[in-house]
Amino acid sequence: FGMREDMSSDEERDAYYASLTDDEVAAITRSYNRKYAAEATAAIAEGPVLAPTGVARDTDIYKAGTIPMETGSGVEQVEGRYLDGGTAIVRRGYSDFVVLQRKGDAYYPVATANGKQDALAKANRIPILVEPGALPEGATDMQRQAHAIRGDVLLDVARQSAAGKAPTAEIQQKIINDGYSGAVEKLTESVGAGPVRADIYAGVKRHNKRLREQAAIAAGEKARAQALAAGKSTAQAEQAYVRAHRRALGTETRGGGVIPHFDHKIPPESLGEEKHKSLYRSGIRAFGKETADDYAVIHQRSGDLKAWGFSVSGDKVKTSDLSKLTAHNATFVNKVLDKSERNALTTYTGGSYHAINAAITGRDPNPSGSTKTTVSGIESAFDKFNEHNPNIEPMTVMRGTRVPSGWKGTAAEYIDATFTVGSKMQIGKVTSTTTKQATAKGFAGHPPYMMVIRTRSGLPVKSISLHSGEDEVIVPTGTDLRCVRVDHHGVHGMPTVWLVAEDLVAEADGGTHPPLKAVA
């Protein structure tokens, strides 16, 4: 490794990367980690020792001001109240407050509250802490990352204290110690093995893409030759070339991208047959951690929600405008769908969705005749939708749900196994989402989590719904999604998974398409 200058071309270098075995990559990355380990240890040890100060919080401090609040999409200046100890509160709306804690030059959300007194009570649980201090002038990248890690540890103390989980100095110190336990390894990895592994990974992806393109060209030329040999015209032979070329490359998307053909093993080894079957019956078709590296762009964007078209301010997710979506899809709903298909969708929006999805997922192997009819109508409706989908621009919708009852393990284990960043999951049932965040929150069960989805494949059904106030958008069975970010303490404090439809990811991964537009 390190012979890039000795390579005659980028193609040769990428082929070399692709030839490395897992053991060779591991040896290379260990070597880089050894190189940076001592520097990482020193960087973590710099500055004051983090700990609760033991100083009582001055609850009389309550000063109006403009607060630089980190929203998840950048820092915004918001009006709020500064409290003691680097804490602040901000009112975002009726009965909607957020508690903030300072980290560096910005304030980060650590709790939400349903009123001012509730916000103050939570804020006053946060201890006065010894802070990391300012970065030295001309700080190295290692020092900057170490400083960020220390700040994250203090935010965790603030978050758990505000929630009432860290009422004593001993518990608060344990949170700090636990946060430091893997800090050196994390920092070493981020400046040592991490960039090297990313370089190798990107090279392998480029190499594999070249191989796919070469194979597609070969397939196209073979099809053209066969067509000409069979007496077809030149135009017909060219059409045969195009069809074979596209088929070899993968599935063409509406935005001009191509979803490659991936040879995914089902069930994935990371889940095993039992867990995969359990998830499948709940309507989650998980493809496992093995699929996490299919698209380089997901890792390159490093959880940047804005890059995927999401817009977030604190706990508030900006969803798409349902009235515009409804108007845009009106012709399809009213003219393309027939009466039986519309009736089937209307039936789904009522109380029959449990029976419908039990039939689709196989939980009910012998559904009633009426359920079979409704399922058939829904499937027919979405076959038409796939063919006539009027949505060119993606939409943002939300779904509050819960960990499946059949899952054997903790909620955190479920999230990690099912929604590894980069991995593929397929919607395995007719799935309700909404553009109304309060509705999504209200539908979250226990243990809860939130799905925020960016897709073209959403059909707004407000005009034919039995519960039009829910602002429902149905995402059809078979929709392929990729996880681009996981927040274990996300929207409304719930675990939140951010999902982008695979066609959008494939378009972004191609490198020749404009950035996805923000929410309409």
pLDDT for the residue numbered 220:
93
Task: Give domain status of residue 215, yes or no.
Answer: no
Question: What's the domain range around 504?
Answer: 269-509
Q: How many domains does the chain fold into?
A: 1
Task: Give domain status of residue 201, yes or no.
Answer: no
Task: Give domain status of residue 334, yes or no.
Answer: yes
Sheet holding 424-427, edge to edge: 284-286, 424-427, 480-487, 496-501, 448-455, 395-402, 431-434, 472-475, 459-460
The per-residue pLDDT of the chain, averaged, comes to 88
Query: How many Å is the Cα radius of gyration of the chain?
Result: 26
| Cα separations in angstroms, 208 against 175, 242, 249 | 44, 21, 11
pLDDT for the residue numbered 71:
61
Residue-wise pLDDT for 452-499, tens only, equals 999 999 999 999 997 788 899 999 999 999 999 999 999 999 999 999
What pTM value is reported for the model? Answer: 0.56
The pLDDT-based confidence of 515 (bands split at 50, 70, 90) is very low
Has residue 7 got a pLDDT over 80?
Answer: no
Residue-wise pLDDT for 442-455, tens only, equals 888 788 999 999 99
Residue-wise pLDDT for 369-403, tens only, equals 778 878 888 998 998 999 899 999 999 999 999 89
Least trusted range by pLDDT, from 159-168, 184-193, 337-346: 184-193
Has residue 243 got a pLDDT over 90?
Answer: no
Task: Give domain status of residue 134, yes or no.
Answer: no
pLDDT for the residue numbered 512:
36
Task: Give domain status of residue 283, yes or no.
Answer: yes
pLDDT for the residue numbered 370:
72
Helix ranges (H only) for 409-501 are: 411-418, 437-443
The residue ranking higher by pLDDT, 300 or 200, is 300
| Cα separations in angstroms, 163 against 158, 438, 487 | 9, 22, 17
Task: Give domain status of residue 77, yes or no.
Answer: no
E-strand spans in 340-423?
A: 395-402
3-state secondary structure of 302: coil
pLDDT for the residue numbered 121:
97
Q: Which domain CATH number covers 487?
A: 3.90.176.10
Residue-wise pLDDT for 60-109, tens only, equals 999 999 999 876 445 778 899 999 999 999 997 778 899 999 988 889 88
Task: Give domain status of residue 451, yes or no.
Answer: yes
3-state secondary structure of 149: helix
Q: Is 66 exposed, middle or buried (0-12, 13-18, 19+ CB in 10 A)?
A: exposed
pLDDT for the residue numbered 5:
62
| Cα separations in angstroms, 247 against 101, 347, 502 | 53, 38, 17
| CA 106 – CA 111 distance, rounded (Å) | 16
Task: Give domain status of residue 314, yes or no.
Answer: yes
Has residue 204 got a pLDDT over 90?
Answer: no
pLDDT for the residue numbered 74:
53
Residue range 162-166: mean pLDDT, rounded: 94
